[in-house]
Structure 1
Amino acid sequence: MKTGLQTVVHPVKDLVRAKALFRALLEVEPYADESYYVGFRSAGQDVGLDPHGHARGMTGPVPYWHVADVRTWLAALVEAGAEVLQDVQDVGGGKLIAFVKDADGNLVGLTQDPAAS
């Protein structure tokens, strides 16, 4: 089961400047404001800023599909020809993420909320 695209994470080089830009764009304060990640919620969407994204292979924003079982969906994407760039990782509180690159270089993310673990 998947609930759709609800999260987009942007790799950023200057977290302070990116945070100011997205604060102005979204007109909300971040719900998470750490040196390793800044997250905003606006209009039913999560928008994240990842200062380490470029180092992990993020070449642009990554849309994250919310799924019930991230490992099953990751295996299905790999079977379909995707290359794993970020294997399943717990990013805190039981929230799991992973992302892949398709044959055209597009990035696709998967996320599993703790309640689905």
Structure 2
Amino acid sequence: MSPTIRSVVVPVTDLAAAKAIYTALYGAPHTDQPYYVGYAADGFEISLAPQEDVAGGPVAYADVDDLDATRAALLAAGATERSAPREVAPGARVCVLEDADGNPVGLRGK
């Protein structure tokens, strides 16, 4: 499988305010929790994640078959780590790297 971007996580400081805007655009969220609000947009996932620091901006996540191998390849190519791999659901892990200009590169896989 080639990496495919299927989701973006948008950090927000005011979840209720952001939810009002994204609900007006995408309709009712499929998941509405204090720690995560998710919308399905024609097979693409738009996620709102409450965070105190939103300076890193939204992160697009590429789905990869082997998160560890892809992460290692990107680090060897010069990427730096923003957040280490962590489990977000059973069998699903994510991490965020940065390119040479500090842009986020999200990975989602097993």
Q: Name the TM-score, length of structure 2 as normaliser.
A: 0.90
CA change 1:53–1:8 in 2 (3 A) is farther
Give the aligned partner of residue 41 of structure 1. 40
Alignment of 1:14-29 (within 5 A): 14-27=14-27, 29=28
Which of the pair is proportionally richer in strand? 2
Equivalent-residue separation in structure 1 for 2:44 and 2:85 (angstroms): 22
Q: 1:99 aligns with which of 90, 93, 96?
A: 96
What is the CA deviation profile of residues 39-98 of structure 1, one whole-angstrom value per residue up to 9, with x for unaligned ones?
A: 11111100011112737xx61111100111111111111111111111110012221111
Give the aligned partner of residue 58 of structure 2. 61
* 1:3 Cα deviation after fit: 4.3
* Structure 1 unaligned blocks of 5 or more: none
Q: Check conservation: 1:10, 1:53, Cα contact below 8 A.
A: no
Count how many residue pairs are aligned between Structure 1 and Structure 2. 110
Q: Check conservation: 1:7, 1:48, Cα contact below 8 A.
A: yes
Q: 1:75 aligns with which of 63, 72, 76?
A: 72
Equivalent-residue separation in structure 2 for 1:99 and 1:53 (angstroms): 17
* 1:23 Cα deviation after fit: 0.8
Q: Name the TM-score, length of structure 1 as normaliser.
A: 0.85
* Structure 2 unaligned blocks of 5 or more: none
Q: CA RMSD in A?
A: 1.6
The letter of the residue matching 1:15 is L
Aligned residues with identical type, % of pairs: 39
